[in-house]
Amino acid sequence: MAKLYFKYGAMGSSKTANALMCRFNYIDKHYNVLLWKSSIDTRFENGGKAMVTSRIGLSAPCTKFGTETDLTELYAKQKTTEEKDVIIVDECQFLTPKQVEELKLLSHNLPVICYGLLTNFKTELFAGSKRLVELADSIQEIKSVCRCGRKATVNARFVNGKIATSGAEIEIGADEKYEGMCYWCYQEKLKEN
């Protein structure tokens, strides 16, 4: 159904795996799937080809876009004549508010499904995620657990074994830098700083 979807979760919640499974489902139903991700995410290049890759080993080629890219123009370049397209965006927290508005316009005629983080390592909303919360027709949390068993909601960044509380909002990494934690374990770790 033509809507703007936002599916978010903490680090390690299988957002990318979900995006790639969603892609497979649409391809299986003969849709033309446009898989996009921000050029801010520099991980998982395959011989210079941009890839969306999950930690469990699923991957697919994608189109990267910059913060200055007009997503309605990008879609116009990639649009098929079949009129049976779907856009899937991974790492959507890196979208600009303007790009989210462009995706909302595109969602009038086709499904646009965005996967990403809600908040940064300081527990503050990313600008793209904030705008998605404001405009999405459907918002769904992809749940994951903290090591204590509670729901992970915080994307804790670690530097030299300690939780970071300052620094650049965007620092690309995965398990080597970040851990999805519940708020209470996060607070306990902050006390160790």
Residues forming the active site = 91
Cβ pair 51, 61 in contact under 8 A? yes
Q: For residue 132, report the phi and psi dihedrals to the nearest 5 degrees.
A: -65, -40
Q: Copy the structure tokens of residue 131.
A: 């705008």
DSSP state of 152: P
Cα 71–chain centre separation: 16
Alpha-carbon separation of residue 176 from 19, 104, 158, 172, 173 (angstroms): 22, 34, 8, 10, 7
Which residue in the block uniquely carries the two structure tokens 């159904």? 1
DSSP helix/strand/coil, 182: coil
Which residue in the block uniquely carries the two structure tokens 């459907």? 138
Please give the Cα distance from 183 to 171 (Å, whole number).
21
